[in-house]
Amino acid sequence: MMDSRLDFVTEVAEWNINRDNLMYSPSLEYSMLDEELEEFMEGGITGDTINQAKELADIAVVAIGGLTKLCGGDLEKIQDILLAVTACNNLKPTEKVDGKIIKGDKYVSPEDMIEDILDDC
């Protein structure tokens, strides 16, 4: 299924950039994410896994679009923020509580790294 097209983050970012859609509004981002989450939950209630997959993808698209706007379209900053969060999540142990991997003693929050990335936004 994979081909030589742009990676997901770049494709979503460029969709926003090409439409001059870089005005960041936390309330708009919240509203769009809330709408997608609502639709995901509806699919969960009905057991519609196709809808759930679509809505999870929509949530990811809206979130990456929000990061694109927050970072003024700077793809490097978007990637760096995502990698900072991933790096910190990788410090979590494998122990789960109610299906969720817990943070544990070695977990470090990515806020300081993100602050450094956003410093010149």
Nearest one of 78, 100, 98 to 89, comparing CA atoms: 100
Are both 82 and 101 inside the same structural domain?
A: yes
Asked if residue 61 and residue 8 are part of one domain, the reply reads yes
Number of domains present in the structure of the chain = 2
Q: What is the pTM of this model?
A: 0.85
If asked whether residues 81 and 64 sit together in one domain, one would say no
Task: Please write the tens of the pLDDT for every residue from 13-57.
Answer: 999 999 999 999 999 999 999 999 999 999 889 999 999 999 999
Residues 68 and 105 in one domain: no
Domain that holds residue 54: 1-73
Same domain flag for 113 and 80: yes
- Could you tell me the sign of the dihedral formed by the alpha carbons of 86, 89, 94, 98, in that order? negative
Q: Are residues 4 and 60 in the same domain?
A: yes
